Structure 1
């Protein structure tokens, strides 16, 4: 079903923006205030399944609780009635409603898209972390665990600021424990490549679960690769639960070895061995960069890196010094001649 050209309440659907596992995202215009927004509409194929309808509504409720400069804002939430949708698509079940919510429009794409295009510089990585980490800690302070933190859920606005989004499977800390991640409605609660050991098991899920995913993201941003890759989700699960992430230098020998300790702690198997907060992880990342000897050049850390001056070769250095040596010898000879002349004139 394509809603482009249709009107949802006071919102005029302008274009189809993208589609995920649960919803289609449209670009729309709120005519009364002249504001462009994003509208997330549940996929019709999921609308008849209560678990997805509840999850969609829950996401809207969770986002409404959050107010942070780097979390995508929720403006509105509503329901598209089935009998109205039937007018657009005769095959649509009139007894089925679709949920939607209206959010801030992000025009800068996702972190995942950027990473597919090119490796990020250390300066770009630092900028993303400095914005996302406080937002993640804020959500945790509100009692919310994201549970699906990954590059695809970090969006950029037109000014290249980073924002957290997609709290579709977020968990309130006061909720009871979940079942195993692979057994709820036949779906995986999370994205296998970023899931912590406890998230795979569905036990002891907390803020530390997101910090593990942030560690995986940092590894991927630094190396351009995921730490654990396999042919099946079960093999990926085994690796997350048992294997240590490889050294970053396996993928980029130029990366400082001091960063390995940051990754190892961020992705520790035991939650208590990880960083206490996302900001603490970022501070450790920056400290690891500062620990690099000054003779090791990491130009990407600089906000506005300047081109390094070309080094002079040994031969060039020798040649540039020789004229000064010749001038010095001439001056010594000249002074000696003057002294001798004065002495001779005195004797005469």
Structure 2
């Protein structure tokens, strides 16, 4: 394997990480003569042969979405694709130590360091959740501490590919992820959102401050059972010098019900800010790679490295669609979509629509067609925040013209509910799905897929808000109907059956 060339460009050198889904290697980029990190993933080890091609498509999509997130606390993704039976992800090589090793080298971990680590992670999560993306696997091994004390978060998007609506559980019935850091709703196969990452942050903070995760056990099932039913030990009982506000914050981050956790990463950062060191001269640190340094001396150059010269960005490019003929621009959008260049197509459609509205009028068929394509492309690109108002506008237009029960109006409303779910507005999405279900059940005789899918989403959202009894009832009835429609061996009822089995197992 050493010396293997990936994509004709990246020469593998040394294994630096290994897990059930694949390996991480240091490698050399022959074209640009630089060291990089290459993650190799085996789809067949996660999804089974029949789902491997679908997983590859999701992998490509997630790489596109995560590449849009620009934050200094996130590892830069250089390239992605497939090589033989494996998917590969090429990232910047990050110098330093992972947070797990950093904690082991500094025991006990100074509590101001823990605050600084959590604050930096909140800054990253705030940017990630705004996309919106949920990391799903935040843990010390996915966080690097660089020599200047700054943190870099790894594996954004990879867990999202491996933990989707159809692959929340492996073929063995076990949840995908790291049980020690897994929120109750994630463990139960429910819908995940930004507060799922905040729970993992709470576990990580508890570990930094006490030296141990709040819930441990001999088996994954035992650990997840404790996440669901046991309260964490307050930190000040384990370490008296931990400030009371910090103990209180960790307990709220570890709330079983996502609605009882802080509203978002920005709110957590604000609570941590009062405990952060004030900017000023660097103080003697108890060891190298002090994570409080970015707050003591923001953006200060490293002592042994010169400050980088200021960048010269040059003139900004003109908008792609500026001055272009509308028909020509529409043809260019189609070409971009056929080539898989989704982000460019989104930008061009966003430029076309105002010109089309001015030329043809807001109610014209031309503009409506463009808005439908724009909304669909935003959904494909994972830009749910921008897609939501477009879908609502389309739903209202069709409902106003054809009535609220119009199939197209309902479809746009259904897609808007999916946006709400992806944006973490769990209760609003649950309400919308429940309202829409009776309408779509009218079409069940000719198209049973949508109502069955809505019922599964309702079950998953009920799990995410802690209503396990309600979820079990919904999923039990869904399993009966899904087997009747698809047969017992179809992937859809098989997945529902595994979720129910896991629910029963965890609940005991």
Task: Determine if the TM-score, normalized by the shorter chain, exceeds 0.5.
Answer: yes
Q: 1:231-279 deviations in whole A, cap 9, x for unaligned?
A: 2322322221222211112322232333221111111122121111223
* Counterpart residue number, 2:101: 113
C-alpha spacing 1:279/1:22, structure 2 compared with 1 (3 Å): same
Q: Residue 164 in 1 paired to residue 153 in 2?
A: yes
Q: Secondary structure at the match of 2:159?
A: coil
Aligned residue runs from structure 1 range 9-20, under 5 A: 9-20=8-19
Q: Output the CA distance in 1 between the equivalents of 2:164 and 2:160.
A: 13
C-alpha spacing 1:110/1:104, structure 2 compared with 1 (3 Å): same
Q: Residue 209 in 1 paired to residue 196 in 2?
A: yes
Structure 1 residue 48 displacement after superposition:
8.8
Contact 2:123–2:269 (Cα < 8 Å) also in 1: no
* Counterpart residue number, 2:121: 132
Q: Residue 277 in 1 paired to residue 264 in 2?
A: yes
Normalising by structure 1, we get a TM-score of: 0.70
Q: Residue 68 in 1 paired to residue 55 in 2?
A: no
* Counterpart residue number, 1:7: 5
What CA RMSD, in Å, does the superposition of the two structures yield over aligned residues?
3.1
Q: Output the CA distance in 1 between the equivalents of 2:285 and 2:182.
A: 39
Task: Give the structure with the larger strand fraction.
Answer: 1
Normalising by structure 2, we get a TM-score of: 0.49
Task: Give the structure with the larger helix fraction.
Answer: 2
Counterpart of 2:185 (choices 191, 195, 198) is 198
Q: 1:48-94 deviations in whole A, cap 9, x for unaligned?
A: 9344653654553443232221111111113223xxxxxxxxxxxxx
Q: Which has the larger radius of gyration?
A: 1
Structure 1 residue 165 displacement after superposition:
1.4
C-alpha spacing 1:201/1:187, structure 2 compared with 1 (3 Å): closer
Contact 1:59–1:168 (Cα < 8 Å) also in 2: yes
C-alpha spacing 1:45/1:107, structure 2 compared with 1 (3 Å): farther
Q: Secondary structure at the match of 1:144?
A: coil
C-alpha spacing 1:234/1:185, structure 2 compared with 1 (3 Å): closer
Contact 1:123–1:303 (Cα < 8 Å) also in 2: no
Q: Residue 186 in 1 paired to residue 173 in 2?
A: yes
Q: Output the CA distance in 1 between the equivalents of 2:69 and 2:127.
A: 8
Unaligned runs of 5+ in 2: 287-508
Contact 2:21–2:45 (Cα < 8 Å) also in 1: yes
Structure 1 residue 99 displacement after superposition:
1.8
Structure 1 residue 103 displacement after superposition:
0.6
Structure 1 residue 210 displacement after superposition:
0.7
Structure 1 residue 169 displacement after superposition:
2.0
Q: Output the CA distance in 1 between the equivalents of 2:164 and 2:98.
A: 32
* Counterpart residue number, 2:25: 26
Unaligned runs of 5+ in 1: 82-96, 291-297, 308-348
Aligned pair count reads 276
